Structure 1
């Protein structure tokens, strides 16, 4: 029995590792991609924003697809879609083709993500907190690999398209693991009362908070490396900073939600993480007058804590599993749609002003809005 659960954890980790590399591998190579394809800042921002937008638009489809086909084949189909779209980047010679692959990857991620939450509820109903930690750890590991290996793989293969396409192998490996380990036919219980709470103001507040923290994360993911390159950092050095950013986030994604379990309410952790993110962006604007690593530590602490806390809020605010699932689905759907604004905002303002500092300064407004959203949240005792 113990070996079976270890294998199921392996399957969860393997799939979750594929939910970010195709997004984070873009940023370290973005300057070269823009030069080769003649992309302006707005178009380049959609390489990150489009998958996030699709994650919001297509997340609600996960439930109906699972009800018709079952969790195992749907997740397998998502991995196949992510892998095929990633492999198609090998022949990306036009901006439209690259954007098409970004959209398809976003659809695969959109549907797989909610189903992994259902997977946790199905096989680990009494270990949800720990398994969410494994889930976010896998996402962080994939994000770190995507960012950290982008430039070395480009140097090894000789072209950025090969560096982007190689992550199809990771999806293929996860597909084999998933098919070999996960049992066929077991379905999650369907509970009544799981309608999305569109008319509940507090659910909208959580959704807005989820969206704003997503916007901050994807703005940083898309534009951190190009910003550093504009300051004179080399491609390898900028890639190293982005890798450190991802690795530190992975650590805090696991640490902060576990620490928050030791307090009756999560509000102090929400405020601390939000403030750390604001400090990180402020310090980033001060580079090179301050060390870029100081900015990265604050940014990683803040953004690393905000994501898992945003996932936990619906669980704290609801009384039944059905309601928690509905609130989470709403937060993910509308929240990721809001999150897609982050990289687009930076890219558009960069085109209009020609200044990275002006473009990134706009992110500070998103930080302030997020802090205001967090003030009423995390005040309810956990269920």
Structure 2
């Protein structure tokens, strides 16, 4: 009974922490125009507030295993949640662009460290239910993104048009995360780094071809996610819709995405191989882009709604990839940190490339074509990753000699 209570508390803590992995970034989007006008910024300058955290999530992901080894998982998680709370809360008392940039930097570092640690934690304490717990993790993250995207404007209106308050209010989630983590850590089964015999991690992910495939795949899905969130409404407006209609479509897509975040990992439990399901949702993604190519509002809307399925399913399956490929929590931490290091850098740079293409062409069909290329590239990678374990292990053993 005590162990069951411990796991329930730990699940609550994982959910509460995962709620914090997007709002400090996604809450910026609805306030971009207000921030730009108030601080007299260019569009390029104000976009750095969302680009910097995403790139930081890649650059600093490798801090996760380092901090986990030096001060332990528990203290690291407390520290990152505290940094996130302060970095988000300080937005309330400043109207300085430089401080907002520093806040974005701190937010990116905190999220970069917490992501791999949560994956290692799931691998360590829920080895028989990894897919389900990953579903809870990704559901919490999707819920945090949805809440911040939908409610930031509400807080803005309720606070007499104060974007500072609308941005800073999300620090409350970090405080709740600290409380939830504290409650779970008080249990005798303390959340801590698993002690392995010897300090050496079994397979160095940086010398492993499968790990590099994971990195590129994660980067492509990150780029797809942030590109769709950034450009969906402008594409809809170009097709003749109003801002309200485009925003409604975005909300509908996000709701589907949330259900896929938790439903898809649970469905994967029924299959021995994850590759067929992954290929299926990638084909749905290609179909959704094809439908969005139409200027007819109903066909376009069907494409947007369908896009919620691959966007919601790809992230949790990316989290499962290093868990499936590793044997210990420490290995999972290292592989996930590597995957997110390069992946989020790719995910931050490619949307900027899409923006540059649109500035040059002023044609969102080019934007859709880039999204199509992302899906096709992921489809090729999915088929490569889906090769038999025996073949991959033989290749890895040869490369590691």
Residue 339 of structure 1 deviates from its aligned partner by: 1.3
Indicate which of 37, 51, 72 corresponds to 1:70.
72
CA RMSD of aligned residues (A): 2.8
Deviates more, 1:137-146 or 1:222-231: 222-231
2:388 is the alignment partner of 1:380:
yes
2:218 is the alignment partner of 1:210:
yes
Match of 1:300 in 2: 308
Indicate which of 155, 170, 175 corresponds to 1:172.
175
Residue 357 of structure 1 deviates from its aligned partner by: 4.4
8 Å Cα contact 1:17-1:138 kept in structure 2 = yes
Give unpaired runs (5+ residues) of structure 1: none
Residue 109 of structure 1 deviates from its aligned partner by: 0.3
Whole-angstrom distance in 1 between the partners of 2:11 and 2:95 = 38
2:8 is the alignment partner of 1:6:
yes
Residue 365 of structure 1 deviates from its aligned partner by: 2.4
Residue 83 of structure 1 deviates from its aligned partner by: 1.4
Deviates more, 1:131-140 or 1:185-194: 185-194
Match of 1:150 in 2: 152
Whole-angstrom distance in 2 between the partners of 1:87 and 1:285 = 41
Residue 219 of structure 1 deviates from its aligned partner by: 1.3
8 Å Cα contact 2:64-2:333 kept in structure 1 = no
Residue 322 of structure 1 deviates from its aligned partner by: 5.0
Residue 40 of structure 1 deviates from its aligned partner by: 4.1
Match of 1:193 in 2: 201
Whole-angstrom distance in 2 between the partners of 1:91 and 1:54 = 24
Residue 372 of structure 1 deviates from its aligned partner by: 2.1
Whole-angstrom distance in 2 between the partners of 1:110 and 1:318 = 20
2:330 is the alignment partner of 1:328:
no
Residue 235 of structure 1 deviates from its aligned partner by: 5.5
Q: Against the structure 1 CA distance between its residues 154 and 237, is the aligned structure 2 distance closer, same or farther, given a 3 Å change threshold?
A: farther
8 Å Cα contact 1:60-1:329 kept in structure 2 = yes
Match of 2:397 in 1: none
Q: Deviations over 1:261-282 (max 9, x none)?
A: 3222222122122222233334
Whole-angstrom distance in 2 between the partners of 1:44 and 1:280 = 30
Match of 1:160 in 2: 163
Residue 194 of structure 1 deviates from its aligned partner by: 4.0
Match of 1:53 in 2: 55
Q: Deviations over 1:66-107 (max 9, x none)?
A: 222222221111111111111222345344433322221110
- What secondary structure does 2:346 align onto? helix
Match of 1:248 in 2: 256
TM-score, normalised relative to structure 1: 0.89
Indicate which of 259, 277, 282 corresponds to 1:274.
282
